[in-house]
Structure 1
Amino acid sequence: MASLATVSATCLNQFPLDFHGNLQRILRSIEISKQQGSRFRCGPELEISGYNCEDHFYEQDTINHSWEILAELLKDDRCQDILVDVGLPVMFKGVTYNCRVIFLNKKILLIRPKQILCDDGNYRESRWFTGWTKVRHIEDFRLPPVVQGVTNQVFVPFGDALLDLHDTCIGIEICEELWAPVSSHIDQSLAGAEIIINGSGSHTEIRKASYALELIKSASAKCGLAYVFSNLRGCDGERVYLNGCSTIVLNGDVLKLGEQYSLMDVEVLTAVINLDAIRTYKNRIRSRSLIAASAPSYPSVRVEWSICEHVSRIPTSPLDTVSFIPPEEEIARGPALWMWDYLRRSGASGFFLPLSGGVDSSSVAIIAYSMCTLITEYLKDHQDEQVLRDVRKVVRDQEYYPQDATSLCGKILTTCYMGSENSSQETKSRAENLANAIGSNHFVINISSATKAFVEELSKSFDGKTPTFQGEKVENLALQNVQARSRMVYAYLFAQLVPWKQQRNGFLLVVGTANVDEAIRGYFTKYDCSAADLNPIGGISKIDLKNFILYAGRKFKLEAVREIVEAPPTAELQPLESNQTDEQDMGMTYDELSCFGKLRKPQACGPFSMAAILLQMWKGKHSPEEIARKVKHFYTSYAMNRHKMSILTPACHMENYSPEDHRYDLRPLFYPDFAWQFKKIDDLVQSEVD
C-alpha cells in the first residue's frame, strides 16, 4: 500500500496586533484543513502577532499576548488530532526570535527559530529579531506559565531540528531561508527530510510572482521532496501587499497553487502526497544519494504521529499548467485589494479622489472601480459573511448588499474635478466622463478664487508687489504651487464633510495620485494633493499606468480611457497658452525616467556608473555629450528634490525602483553638487569621443 500523506498549506490575511482576529482566522484554517482530511497544517510567518508589528516587537506585551493566543489554540478542540505549525515571536534567554511552534494534541513538540533574517528591500527583520546561529543544535526552553497550564510541560526543545514522525521526516524553513544561497532545506533533505514546510511573509511586485515558485520547484526537484509553502496575504498596515500564492510542490511538480490576489481572508490548500514517490525520486538521483550517505546527522524530535492514514485516497495530480496574471491585471488587483484592506481596517467610510482627467488620477479612479468589481463578483461566487460585514461597515448600512460595481463605487468613491482658470474644458470633460462611467460620487469646483485670495493677501504684505506668470521663474513656480496646495486643502475639506452632507457618519480617506517616476524626479508640489492618506500608484511607473488604463478600458468597457491616454500629460498650472506639458517641465521623458530609476535603485548606480551603462545602452540613439547631459540633469533634479521624497504619501509597493524612504530606499536628505562624479563623466565622454 502506498504511503499517502495529507498536508495543508494556508494563506491568511492577518493584521498586526489583532490578536483576536488573527486567532479566529488561524482556527478557521485548522478547521478547514481537518475537514479536507489533512494530518498536518502549515501556517504563514508570524501569523499570531501579525508580520508587520515592527517596533511593537520591542514590547513585551506583543510577545506575552502571542503566548496567550497560542494557549488558546492548544486547548481548542478544533486543534486536536492534527499536527499544527504556527508562527509567533519568542524571547529565549533575553533574545527575541521569529519562530515556528509545532504542536500536537496540547503538547508543544518544537520551537524552531528563524536562522537567516531578511534585511533587504522592504524588510528590516534584524531590527527586532536575531537569527539563530546554532545550526543543528537544540536547547531546553522554559514555557511561560500561561502555556504550562495547558500542556503540563515545563521545558520543550528550542532550536534547529527535524520532526521524526512514524512514517516520514519533516524539515522546517522560514521565509528568507528559501531565498538564501545556502538554504536550510538542502542539509535537512540530505539528513532524511521528505517534507519541507515554510511559513513566509512575502510581498508582491509587478512581474515577480513566479520567482518564489521557481525557487520552490527547484528546491523540490533538486532534493527530491514535498515543499509546503504558506504565505500571508493582504495589506497588514504597511506599504506592501503580501501576495498569497501558497504552494505545495512534489519533486518539482506543482500540486497546489493559491490565488495570487484574493479577498479570501482564509485560504487552505490540501494535497495528498505519495511519500513513496519521494523515496523513489531520491533514490534515482545517484549524486544526491552519494552526498546524503556522508551527510552529518541532524538532531530530531520524535513525534508519536503518522501523517499517513490507512484510508482510501488518491494522490493529488500535478497541475497541467501554472500561470500568473499579466502586469496590467496585477495593477487592477494588487493596489485595489491593498486599498480595500486599508479602507476596511481604518474605520473610514470611503475614499476622496481629486480627479484631474489625466492618466494618473484616472488610473487611481479605475483601480478603485476594480476594487468594487472584485468585491461584488466575489460576493456573487462566495457566501463570505466577513466581506459582506466589511462592506456594510464601510457604507454604514447593515442592510446593504452590493449588486454591481457601479452602485458600490457610488457609495465608496467620491471624486472631484478641481479646475482653475488654467484648466481646459477637455480635462474637465474627461474627468466627468470617467466619473459617470464608474459611478463615483462626483463634484466640480473652481479653485481660482481661493488661490487669488492667497496671492492678494500676500500682495498686501509685499506693499502691492504681486507675482505673475510672465515674471521671474520663482514667481511662476510660486503661482503654480499655490494652486496645487489649494487642492490639498479642498481635498481634506471634502473628505471630512462629504459624509456629513450625505447625513451619514464617517470620513473619507484622501487618495494620492503621484506615480513612481514623478516621485523620483521630484516632479510634484510638496504638500499638494499628492500629500494624501494613501497612494495606490506611488509604486507604479507611468509606462505601466498607460498600459493598465488601456487594458482596464477594455476589461471594464470604459470608452473614456482612450482620450485620457492620448492626451499629453500636463499639470495645467500655467495659462493654457503656454501649452505646458509634464515631460517638457521635467526635461526628460517618462521612458528615460523609468530607465534612470531602475539603474539608480536595483542596479545601485551612481552618476558615473549610470552614464557608463547608458553610453552603451543608448549608443546610436543619443550622442555621448547628450547622454552625459541627461544623466547630470537627472541627478541634479533628484538631489534638489530629495527632500520631497521624505514626505511621500504611503504608497502600495509594486515596483523595485521606488524612492519611498520609510524603509525601502534609505538615502540622505541632502546631497552635494556631484562635482567629482560629473567630472568623471566628462572624462568618460571625452574618451568615447576620442
Structure 2
Amino acid sequence: MGHLTTLATCSLNQWALDFEGNAERIIESIRIAKAAGASLRVGPELEVTGYGCLDHFLEGDTYLHAWEMFARILNNEECQDIILDIGMPVTHKNVRYNCRVICLNRKILLIRPKMWLANDGNYREMRYFTPWARPRYTEMYYLPRMISEISGQTQVLFGDAVVSTPDSCIGAETCEELFTPDSPHIPMGLDGVEVVTNSSGSHHELRKLHTRIELIRNATLQHGGIYLYSNQQGCDGDRLYYDGCAMIIVNGKVVAQGSQFSLKDVEVVTAIVDLEDVRSFRFAPSRGLQAVSVTKSYQRVEASKSLSKNGEMIHPGIGPSREIQVHYHTPEEEIALGPACWLWDYLRRSGTSGFFLPLSGGIDSCATATIVHSMCRLVIEACENGDRQVITDVQKITKDPTFIPTTPQELANRIFHTCFMGTENSSSETRSRAKEFAEAIGAYHVDLNMDSLVTAVRELFTFVTNKKPRFQVHGGTKTENLALQNIQARLRMVLAYLFAQLLPWVRGFEGGLLVLGSANVDECLRGYLTKYDCSSADINPIGGISKTDLKRFIAYARDQFDIPILHDFLTATPTAELEPITKEYVQSDEADMGMTYDELSVFGRLRKVEKCGPYSMFTKLLHLWYPRLTPSEIATKTKNFFWYYAINRHKQTTLTPSYHAEQYSPDDNRYDLRPFLYPRFSWPWKKIDSALEQIEKVKAEQEKKVQ
C-alpha cells in the first residue's frame, strides 16, 4: 500500500460567457482540492467559457477571453503544485476544437481535443467544433503570447496523447466519448493509462443517472483503472439543467459521489486511492495478451509531479477510500429538486425580483407552484447552513441587505406571487383550492374575476361583425365554442404580464417578476393548449414532465412537504374550465383530447425515442394495448394522435422555454426538429387500414373454424 494518492474532481455551476465568474469558481475548486491534499484536479467540459455558449462558440472573442481567463488561472499562486485538467475551446490552424488543457506549475503539458462530439438531442457540437479524428496522432500548437509570457513556452503538444507522471499515467476523455462503443478509455487502459479523467456537460433527464453511472462503472470494471468524472451543475443560461454528481470510481467500484442537485456554486469530491489496486486488478492474462497486441502506443508527455507522495504511506488510520452505495433519487425527488435548482439559478441571474404564476386550481399550475416551494425549501436549508452565496443572492433578489428568511413561506411571500383568474365558467372548488394552497406555501395571492374583460372583447367582436358567438352548450358551433375559450385563455396571458410587472410596485418593492408557465409535456405534444395563452410565459419548469409523473410528484410532495391540500388537486378531474358547466356537461381534458395522459406518454415515446411514424406506431401499439383495446380502437387513436399532432405542430414553435426533463419533449428549439406544416397522412392511413383488414380477415377465419 505504498502508492496512495488523493485525487479530486468537481461539479461547478458555470454560466455561459461569465468569464470572470467562471474563472473564480475554477480557482476556488483548485483551492479546495489542494486543501484536501489532491495531486490532480479535474473540471467540467468547457468550464472556462461555460458549456452553453452555443453560437457564441463561432465568435473569435470567446476564444480570446478563454485564453485570458486561462492565463489568470495558470498564473495564480494557489493553482501551483497540482496537475490541472481544465476544459476550454481552442482554435488550432483556424479550426475550432473542444479541448482539455492539462497543466502543472505554469506549464501546459498537453492540449487534448475532443474526438467524438455530441451531436443529437439537445446537442449540436459539430455546429461549433470539429472532432479530432486522428487517434494517437499529435502535432505542435503555438501558444498565444499572453500564455508564453507566463509559461516560457512557445509551443506545446496538441492531439491524442497522455500524461506520464513518475509513478503513473493519466489519460483524458470528454463526455460523449464515454457513450461511444469504442471509447478512448479502452485503448488507453490497454496502453498502461491508470487514471482516466472524464469532463462532462451532461444534462439532467428523469431516470437518466442510472445509465450514466453504469457506463462510468463499466469503464473500469473490465480492465481496471481509476476514473474521475466531473460535470457541470446548474442552469448555465438555457433549457438544460446540468446535474453534477461528480464521481470517483476504482476498478468498477464507486468510492466517492457528489450531489446530483445542489445550490452550491462549487462542489469538490475527493478520494484516496491506491495505484497498486489498479495494477493488481490488471494481472489477468487475457488483459495482458490484448495489451501486448496494441500496435501503436500513445505519445506520453512527461509531468514532473508524482500522483502519490514520496515514500511509503503506512498508517493504521490512512487507507484507500472504501466503496460506497450509489445514491439515486426517485423520479419524484428529481422533479422536486432539478427544476427547483434550475429556477433558482434563473431567478438569481436574471435580475428580476421573483415569480408570478397564474394559479388555476388544477394540477399543472399546482405542480409548478410546488416546485417553487421546493426551491424555497432548498434556499432556506442553504441559509441555515450559512451558505454566503445563497444568502447574498436572496438579499440581491429582494433588494434587502438585511433579509435572511427562516421559513420557505417567509421567502415565498417576498418572491412568489400567484393569481386566480376566474370567469363565470370557474368553479368554486378550483378557486378555493388555489387560495388555500397559496396560503399553505406562503405565496402572495390575488383573486380576481375577468368576466368584464371577456365580455368587452366579445361585445367588440359583435359590434364590428354584427354576429354574436355562442358556446356549444348554448347552441353555438365548434368554431364559436373554441374561439370563446381562446378569448379567456389569451386574456389570462395579458393579465399575467400586467400583474407580473406591477405587483411588486403595488407592494412597495422594486423590480418585476418572471411569469411561469404550467403546460406539461403531454399537452404540449398533443397541442392541447391555446397558442399565446397563459401557458405562454418566460420559463416553464414542468414543460418537459409528463402528467403521470406530475401526479406522482404531487403525491410525494403532499406527504414529504406536509401540505394536505395537495390531495384535493390529485383527486380533482383535470379541466380547463373554459366552457359553461351544466347539469349534463362538465369539461374534461382527457375527454376533449380523445386519449388519456398515460396514452399520450406512450405516443410521445414511440414518436420521439423509438422514432415511429404512424404505421410502425400502430403495429407496436397492437402488441402493447391489445386486448385492452381492439385493433380498430388502436388504429383510431393512432390516427387521432398524428392528426392533432400535425395540426397543432405550429404551437410547438412558440412553446415557453421549458426545463428539459423528458426524452420525448416536443420542444422545437434544437431538440425536436420537425416541420410545422404537414400533409395529410394519406399513405400511412392506407397502410393502417390495410393491416386492419388483414387482422379482421384472420379473425373471421379463426371464428369460422371454431364454429
Report SS of the residue matched to 1:651. coil
User: How far does the alpha carbon of each residue in 1:213-259 deviate from its partner, in whole angstroms, 9 at most, with x for none?
Assistant: 11111111112100001000011111111010111000011010110
Report how far residue 121 of structure 1 moved. Answer: 1.1
TM-score, L = length of structure 2: 0.96
Equivalent position of 1:358 in the other structure: 362
User: How far does the alpha carbon of each residue in 1:183-236 deviate from its partner, in whole angstroms, 9 at most, with x for none?
Assistant: 000001111100000111001111111111111111111121000010000111
Q: Is the 8 A contact 1:201 1:231 kept in 2?
A: yes
Question: Structure 2 counterpart of 1:394, which letter?
Answer: I
Equivalent position of 2:147 in the other structure: 147
Report how far residue 468 of structure 1 moved. Answer: 4.2
Q: 1:372 aligns with which of 365, 372, 376?
A: 376
Structure 1 residue 321 and structure 2 residue 329: aligned? no
Report how far residue 323 of structure 1 moved. Answer: 2.4
Alignment of 1:586-605 (within 5 A): 586-605=593-612
Equivalent position of 1:484 in the other structure: 489
Q: 1:668 aligns with which of 667, 675, 682?
A: 675
Structure 1 residue 560 and structure 2 residue 565: aligned? yes
Equivalent position of 2:339 in the other structure: 335
Equivalent position of 1:677 in the other structure: 684
Moved more, 240-249 or 304-313: 304-313
Report how far residue 463 of structure 1 moved. Answer: 2.6
Equivalent position of 2:398 in the other structure: 395
Equivalent position of 2:705 in the other structure: none
Structure 1 residue 429 and structure 2 residue 432: aligned? yes
User: How far does the alpha carbon of each residue in 1:557-576 deviate from its partner, in whole angstroms, 9 at most, with x for none?
Assistant: 11111111111000000001
Q: 1:623 aligns with which of 630, 635, 653?
A: 630
Alignment of 1:48-197 (within 5 A): 48-197=48-197
Q: Is the 8 A contact 2:255 2:324 kept in 1?
A: no
Alignment of 1:622-641 (within 5 A): 622-641=629-648
Structure 1 residue 493 and structure 2 residue 492: aligned? no
Moved more, 45-54 or 149-158: 149-158
Structure 1 residue 288 and structure 2 residue 287: aligned? yes
Tell me, in whole angstroms, the C-alpha distance in 2 between the residues paired with 1:146 and 1:684: 69
Question: Structure 2 counterpart of 1:304, which letter?
Answer: S
Report SS of the residue matched to 2:282. helix
Q: Is the 8 A contact 2:168 2:307 kept in 1?
A: yes
Q: Is the 8 A contact 1:11 1:268 kept in 2?
A: yes
Tell me, in whole angstroms, the C-alpha distance in 2 between the residues paired with 1:289 and 1:257: 31
Structure 1 residue 418 and structure 2 residue 425: aligned? no
Tell me, in whole angstroms, the C-alpha distance in 1 between the residues paired with 2:420 and 2:286: 67
Report SS of the residue matched to 2:203. coil
Q: Is the 8 A contact 2:256 2:324 kept in 1?
A: no
Tell me, in whole angstroms, the C-alpha distance in 2 between the residues paired with 1:146 and 1:259: 37
Question: Structure 2 counterpart of 1:430, which letter?
Answer: R
Question: Structure 2 counterpart of 1:290, which letter?
Answer: L
Report how far residue 379 of structure 1 moved. Answer: 2.0
Equivalent position of 1:502 in the other structure: 507
Moved more, 177-186 or 451-460: 451-460
Report SS of the residue matched to 1:601. helix
Q: Is the 8 A contact 1:166 1:306 kept in 2?
A: yes
Q: Is the 8 A contact 1:42 1:84 kept in 2?
A: yes
Number of residue equivalences: 688
Report how far residue 66 of structure 1 moved. Answer: 0.2
Report how far residue 346 of structure 1 moved. Answer: 0.5
Report how far residue 688 of structure 1 moved. Answer: 1.6
Equivalent position of 2:527 in the other structure: 522
Tell me, in whole angstroms, the C-alpha distance in 2 between the residues paired with 1:539 and 1:94: 38
Tell me, in whole angstroms, the C-alpha distance in 2 between the residues paired with 1:673 and 1:480: 27
Report SS of the residue matched to 1:132. coil
User: How far does the alpha carbon of each residue in 1:490-542 deviate from its partner, in whole angstroms, 9 at most, with x for none?
Assistant: 00000100111122211100000000000000000000010000000000000
Report SS of the residue matched to 1:576. coil
User: How far does the alpha carbon of each residue in 1:24-61 deviate from its partner, in whole angstroms, 9 at most, with x for none?
Assistant: 10000000000000011000000000000000001100
Question: Structure 2 counterpart of 1:137, which letter?
Answer: Y
Report how far residue 685 of structure 1 moved. Answer: 1.4
Report SS of the residue matched to 2:344. helix
Q: Is the 8 A contact 2:522 2:547 kept in 1?
A: yes
Report how far residue 466 of structure 1 moved. Answer: 4.1
Tell me, in whole angstroms, the C-alpha distance in 1 between the residues paired with 2:612 and 2:91: 40
Kindly report the root-mean-square deviation, in angstroms, between the aligned alpha carbons of the 2 structures: 1.0
Tell me, in whole angstroms, the C-alpha distance in 2 between the residues paired with 1:433 and 1:685: 51
Report how far residue 273 of structure 1 moved. Answer: 1.0
Report how far residue 315 of structure 1 moved. Answer: 3.1
Structure 1 residue 513 and structure 2 residue 512: aligned? no
Q: Is the 8 A contact 2:5 2:273 kept in 1?
A: yes
Report how far residue 305 of structure 1 moved. Answer: 1.4
**Percentage of pairs with the same residue:** 51
Tell me, in whole angstroms, the C-alpha distance in 1 between the residues paired with 2:19 and 2:273: 33
Superposed structure 1 runs of 4+ greater than 2 Å apart? 310-320, 463-470
Equivalent position of 2:700 in the other structure: none
Report how far residue 299 of structure 1 moved. Answer: 1.1
Q: Is the 8 A contact 1:513 1:535 kept in 2?
A: yes
Q: Is the 8 A contact 1:271 1:315 kept in 2?
A: no
Question: Structure 2 counterpart of 1:15, which letter?
Answer: W
Report SS of the residue matched to 1:525. coil
TM-score, L = length of structure 1: 0.99
Question: Structure 2 counterpart of 1:449, which letter?
Answer: S
Structure 1 residue 279 and structure 2 residue 304: aligned? no
Equivalent position of 2:703 in the other structure: none
Equivalent position of 1:541 in the other structure: 546
Report SS of the residue matched to 2:6. strand
Tell me, in whole angstroms, the C-alpha distance in 2 between the residues paired with 1:149 and 1:456: 75
Report how far residue 316 of structure 1 moved. Answer: 3.1
Report SS of the residue matched to 1:617. helix
Question: Structure 2 counterpart of 1:536, which letter?
Answer: P
Report SS of the residue matched to 1:170. strand
Report how far residue 402 of structure 1 moved. Answer: 1.3
Q: Is the 8 A contact 2:579 2:587 kept in 1?
A: yes
Structure 1 residue 458 and structure 2 residue 461: aligned? yes
User: How far does the alpha carbon of each residue in 1:604-649 deviate from its partner, in whole angstroms, 9 at most, with x for none?
Assistant: 0000000000111111111111110000000000001000000000
Alignment of 1:643-662 (within 5 A): 643-662=650-669
Structure 1 unaligned blocks of 5 or more: none
Question: Structure 2 counterpart of 1:171, which letter?
Answer: G
Question: Structure 1 counterpart of 2:546, which letter?
Answer: S
User: How far does the alpha carbon of each residue in 1:1-41 deviate from its partner, in whole angstroms, 9 at most, with x for none?
Assistant: 51112110011000000011101100000000000000110
Report SS of the residue matched to 2:112. strand
Equivalent position of 2:442 in the other structure: 439
Q: Is the 8 A contact 1:352 1:491 kept in 2?
A: yes
Report SS of the residue matched to 1:492. helix
Report how far residue 272 of structure 1 moved. Answer: 1.1
Report how far residue 464 of structure 1 moved. Answer: 4.7
Report how far residue 319 of structure 1 moved. Answer: 3.2
User: How far does the alpha carbon of each residue in 1:448-504 deviate from its partner, in whole angstroms, 9 at most, with x for none?
Assistant: 110111111111110354444431111000000000000000000001001111222
Structure 2 unaligned blocks of 5 or more: 698-707
Report how far residue 264 of structure 1 moved. Answer: 1.0
Report SS of the residue matched to 1:552. helix
